[in-house]
């Protein structure tokens, strides 16, 4: 699917089923949209930023007390892409990776294949997102 087609499909779904975009009504509904594979041009590639994982303390009030701290971290990378057939059509991306799966940085102008991405709404605009998205440079 081209980037232009993906953005138009996203806008169409938003127009005909606006309730899917009301996160207070249906939390996480956007994550049920199909994952996409597309080829795009890198306009900007951000520096990887380590995020703090969630931490919980679980205490049992049974005979003995136990506590558990669950923690982890991801690497977040912001990016901006444009469409191969329409360089003026750009879209932002925000991806999260396990630290060992972080892709190498891509240069402006590189053509990449994005496999396993989702479209989501960010500030009322479409944005590419995903966890451990496969990003490969196309030759």
Distance (Å, rounded) from C-alpha 85 to C-alpha 2? 8
pLDDT digits (tens, 9 = 90+) for 54-104: 544 455 555 554 444 445 678 999 999 998 887 788 899 999 998 888 888
Q: Quick check: 18 pLDDT over 70?
A: yes
Q: In which residue are the tokens 């041009």 written?
A: 41
Structural contact between residues 91 and 22, judged by C-beta atoms closer than 8 angstroms: no
Dump pLDDT digits (tens) for 23-64: 555 555 555 567 788 889 999 999 988 877 554 445 555 555
CATH topology of domain 3-137: OB fold (Dihydrolipoamide Acetyltransferase, E2P) (2.40.50)
DSSP for 52-69? PPP--B----SSS----B
Predicted confidence at residue 26, as pLDDT, reads 55
The 10 Å Cβ neighbour count of residue 1 is 12
- Sequence spans of domains, the chain: 3-137
> Can you name the residues that pair with 81 across neighbouring β-strands?
42, 91
């Amino acid at each position: 699917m081209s980037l232009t087609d993906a953005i138009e499909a996203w806008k169409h779904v938003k127009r005909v089923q606006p309730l899917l975009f009301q996160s207070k009504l249906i939390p996480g509904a956007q994550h049920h949209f199909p994952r996409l594979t597309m080829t795009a041009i890198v306009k900007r590639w951000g520096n990887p930023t380590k995020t703090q994982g969630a931490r919980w303390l679980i205490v049992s009030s049974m005979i003995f007390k136990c506590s558990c701290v669950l923690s982890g971290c991801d690497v977040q990378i912001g990016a901006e892409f444009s469409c191969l057939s329409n360089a003026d059509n750009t879209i932002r991306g925000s991806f999260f990776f396990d630290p060992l799966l972080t892709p190498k940085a891509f240069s402006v102008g590189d053509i990449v294949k994005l496999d396993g991405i989702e479209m989501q709404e960010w500030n009322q605009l479409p944005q590419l997102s995903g966890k451990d998205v496969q990003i490969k440079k196309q030759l």
